[in-house]
Structure 1
Amino acid sequence: MVQEAGFWLYDLRVETRLEGRTPVCRHVEGEFFRVQGENLVFSEGQQVSMYGLAAILPLLPAKQRVTSEHDWMSTDAEIACPDPHCGARFHIRREDKRWFSHAETTGLPDARTTPYWQKETR
């Protein structure tokens, strides 16, 4: 039996934390969004500052990957708001893992199949 080529990614939950610190930007304790595959998923009413998001975005793909338990991507979870006067932090928590088929996610024409988001069941 040939095993399909693919990879695991963690779903992430990114939550705003103040923990008594004073925010300068519009940050509300407990607001969050999720990362599922390549998608940022916001529940109704949830918001995040675009400046905070700019600080978080480069780290999200690395946080989704399986890493050594001693890698800082596995152990460190708090990202500071980029405004040096703001006390907000963004806590990134790994949740469930999802399997992604390489053929369903690649842009290489000779290697691709139907994209995962167009499949009937996932």
Structure 2
Amino acid sequence: MADDPEDGFWLYDLRIETVLDGRTPVCRHIEGEAFRMQGETLVFEAGQRVSAYALAALLPLLPAKQRTTDPNDWMSTDAEIACPDPHCGGRFRIIREGKRHFSHAATTGLPDARKAPYWQEGET
């Protein structure tokens, strides 16, 4: 099964962008700062930052947002997550961008199904 080219799955790339709701943020949130999630990797552009506490609140939701969900599922329709500080006006907009295909053999830890990790594909 590990050699089957159809043995894979699709994940959305995500852009997570800071937005403010008009209130002065309590935490360090700068409107427009953003990072991306591509596969399992968080990608930050030079100078972009995110609060560790906000990131801790976001992390459990990101893998679910990467997957295809029913159009009526709240995971498909709700795109903004509030900062975990109830006094803060910061929010994080999760935007689904393009999709990437991952093979099971390149992402599994199961020894009998494993191949080169996906980030090493194409390297010589």
Q: TM-score, normalised by structure 2?
A: 0.93
Matching residue of 1:9: 11
For residues 21-54 of structure 1, what are the alpha-carbon distances to aligned partners after superposition, in whole Å with 9 as ceiling and x for unaligned?
A: 2100000000000000000000000000001101
Amino acid of the residue matched to residue 29 of structure 2?
A: H
What is the SS of the residue equivalent to 2:64? Answer: helix
Q: Please give the TM-score of this superposition, normalised by the length of structure 1.
A: 0.95
Is the aligned partner of 1:105 residue 2:101?
Answer: no
SS state of the match for residue 11, structure 1?
A: strand
Mind listing any 5+ residue stretches in structure 2 that lack a counterpart? none
Identity of aligned residues (%): 74
2:64 alignment partner in structure 1: 62
| 1:8 aligned partner, one-letter code | W
Paired AA for residue 91 in structure 1: R
1:33 matches 2:18: no
Q: CA deviation at 1:92?
A: 0.3
| Residue correspondence of structure 1 range 17-28 to structure 2 within 5 A | 17-28=19-30
Quick check: 2:5–2:103 contact (8 Å CA) kept in 1?
no
Q: Would you identify which runs of 4 or more consecutive aligned residues in structure 1 move more than 3 Å? A: none
Cα distance in 2 between the residues matched to 1:11 and 1:46: 18
- Give structure 1 stretches of 5+ with no counterpart: none
Provide the C-alpha distance between the structure 2 equivalents of 1:9 and 1:3, rounded to a whole number of angstroms. Answer: 16
Match of 1:44 in 2: 46
Q: Contact conserved, 2:14 with 2:36, CA < 8 A, in 1?
A: yes
Please give the alpha-carbon distance, in whole angstroms, between the structure 2 residues aligned to 1:5 and 1:71.
Answer: 26
How many residue pairs align between the two structures?
Answer: 120
SS at match of 1:55: helix
Q: Which moved more, 1:92-101 or 1:14-23?
A: 14-23
Mapped partners of 2:89, 2:82: distance in 1? 8
